[in-house]
Amino acid sequence: MDVRQLRYFVTVAEEANFTRAAARLHLAQPGVSAQVRQLERELGHPLFDRSGRAVTLTEVGEAVLPYARAALGAVEAVRQTADEFTGLLRGRVTLGLVSGAAGAAEFGLAAVLAGFHEDHPRVEITLTEDTSEHMLAALGRGELDIAVVGLADEEPPPGISVQLLVDEPLVAGVAPDDPALVPPDRTTIPLAELRDRPLISLPRGTGLRGVLDRACAQAAFRPRIAFEAAAPPFLAQLAARGLGVAVIPALSADAAAALGLRTLEITEPRLRGRVALAWRTAGLAGPAATVLLDLLRTELTAPGSPV
């Protein structure tokens, strides 16, 4: 048994797929499979059930996984301790992003990561896009170090700390000839008026969708979701063409006009979209993640974003 085998085992467990694990490790899939099978032979038990479309852990694999992660953590701690004497920072940081945030120029994320990489070229950063619900769960399990997420609740889940990046009203985006725009100078719309309207929203699991679903449930109706998409600008485009009412973060007047869209702030209750930087309250896995989090907390700003 060696560190390489344990790393391959943990990566396959996290990806639930040998091909994806090999791609993440920058290795050929047959080599990863061979090393995992060698580890299984040494332990005398299969660690994965390979009978389905997805690779799943066996009972033994579930029991072994935390110890494998601890062993890899101990090896990394040895390296980090030695590196402290030379001022070298290295390691691996897993960063999760709410779908659509990676390409949002207003976050300035690309520039922050480029600066971090220039200062710490030995740190490997893994980026993944997913729903906020999935990423908050992954943070709690230790599968992510840091995430940019949308918040559906007033408070984050237990064990998760957050720093708000965006806190803005949610609006109903409608086409210029929509009947909701009566009178024409109207600026707000009660949530109850959306009861029987086809709505255009982010998918389930996102913070914005969680806010909408919870508010509708409290108002005793289920939203009629006509279209779902991960990017708020696309939701706005669909609404501008009369396909429904888009529930999106507030837009500037110029941005709405450019899309051919009118927006009404949702009231009774007023709904808000919030995007936050999130991490485990108990602390991060290593110095590299800690340094990156400190940098993101200082530099990452966003006047508007998908939630």
Look up tokens 């309250």; give the residue: 281
Answer yes or no: is 235 within a domain: yes
**Number of independent structural domains in the chain:** 2
The better pLDDT of the pair 276, 307 is held by 276
Q: Look at the alpha carbons of 213, 219, 223, 229 in this order and tell me if their dihedral is positive or negative.
A: negative
In this predicted model, what pLDDT tens digit does every residue of 208-259 receive, in sequence order? Answer: 899 999 999 999 999 999 999 888 889 999 999 999 999 998 888 888 888 8
Average pLDDT over residues 164-188: 88
**Cα(96)–Cα(101) distance, rounded to whole angstroms?**
10
Look up tokens 């009203």; give the residue: 169
Are residues 106 and 303 in contact, defined by beta-carbon separation less than 8 angstroms?
Answer: yes
Which pair of structure tokens corresponds to residue 64?
């072994």
pLDDT at 307: 47
Answer yes or no: is 27 within a domain: yes
Q: Please give the residue range of the domain that contains residue 203.
A: 166-273
The better pLDDT of the pair 191, 142 is held by 191
In this predicted model, what pLDDT tens digit does every residue of 98-131 receive, in sequence order? Answer: 865 554 545 678 888 899 998 888 888 988 888 8
Q: Give the CATH number of the domain where residue 5 resides.
A: 1.10.10.10
In this predicted model, what pLDDT tens digit does every residue of 13-47 receive, in sequence order? Answer: 999 999 999 998 888 999 999 999 999 999 999 99
Question: SS3 of 61, please?
Answer: helix
pLDDT at 283: 79
**Cα(127)–Cα(146) distance, rounded to whole angstroms?**
10
Q: Give the CATH number of the domain where residue 221 resides.
A: 3.40.190.290
pTM of the model as a whole: 0.66
Answer yes or no: is 280 within a domain: no
In this predicted model, what pLDDT tens digit does every residue of 61-76 receive, in sequence order? Answer: 999 999 999 998 888 7
pLDDT at 85: 55
What's the whole-number average pLDDT of the chain?
87
Answer yes or no: is 172 within a domain: yes
Average pLDDT over residues 180-209: 90
Are residues 276 and 161 in contact, defined by beta-carbon separation less than 8 angstroms?
Answer: no
Q: Which of 41, 72, 88 is the last residue of a domain?
A: 88
pLDDT at 305: 43
Angle at 102 between CA 99 and CA 103, to 5 degrees: 110
- Would the pLDDT of 306 be above 50? no
> What is the share, in percent, of the chain residues with pLDDT greater than 90?
49
Answer yes or no: is 79 within a domain: yes
Helices and strands (DSSP H and E) totals, the chain: 10, 12
245, amino acid identity: V
Answer yes or no: is 77 within a domain: yes
Most confident of 8-12, 101-105, 155-159: 8-12
